[in-house]
Amino acid sequence: MKKKKNSIIGIILIFLGISIISIALYMRITSSLEQKAMIKDFQAELNTIQDSINSSEDQVIEDEVVENVEETPEKKPEISLNSKAIGIMSIPKIELEVAIGEGVDMNTLKYALGHFPNTPMPGVTGNFAVAGHRSYTYNKYFNRLDELEIGDEINVTTLDGDFTYKVDNISIVEPEEVSVLNSTTNSTITLVTCTPVRVATHRLIIKGTLVN
């Protein structure tokens, strides 16, 4: 009777183990597919916008060679963002390319990095702040962030262009230390993630300054 009971418990434990692994694998695959779709959609929009800009520039050139035409205000191509991504971040040092979503809510961070809404976008004065998860299962985008060193590059592409930052400060702070998001007098970037992985008692902060 005891052997039978132990056998049943063993089967249950094996089943639970398989279930946990299957769920983690499913979430990882789902996250990866969503991330790839976000990057693809964003890049497609960039191409569409660039085509629109090129078409507009060609039209301006044609208008300039036509004499005695009535002057009209220059029409700028309408720029809008329909994809879920607001940009793409790449960090060569850790071989990372990942989409950036708007907001740091659970749903956004499930599939991408998240832009803190109260901070500016790249290219303007201020602190462009981005959060991302670290995990052994899924949402692994910032898993290797602790490998960054002073001088490493962080690249961000948005509808406004390509921006390169150089890491100039690395720190670990308490979760409630929100001063890392404070505005700055120049163009900077702040990356925020949990540390250590799994335990997540603190926050790893990577800061950089715009160089290009």
Residues recognised as catalytic:
133, 194
Q: Could you tell me if 160 and 107 are in contact, meaning their C-beta atoms sit under 8 angstroms apart? A: no
What region, left, alpha or beta, does residue 121 occupy, with left being phi > 0 and alpha being psi -120 to 50 degrees? beta
Would the CA dihedral through 80, 82, 87, 90 be positive or negative? negative
| End-to-end Cα, the chain, rounded Å | 73
* Type of residue at 27: M
Contact 209, 126 (CB under 8 A): no
Structure tokens at 200: 């997540």
The tokens describing 168, both together, are 């100039």
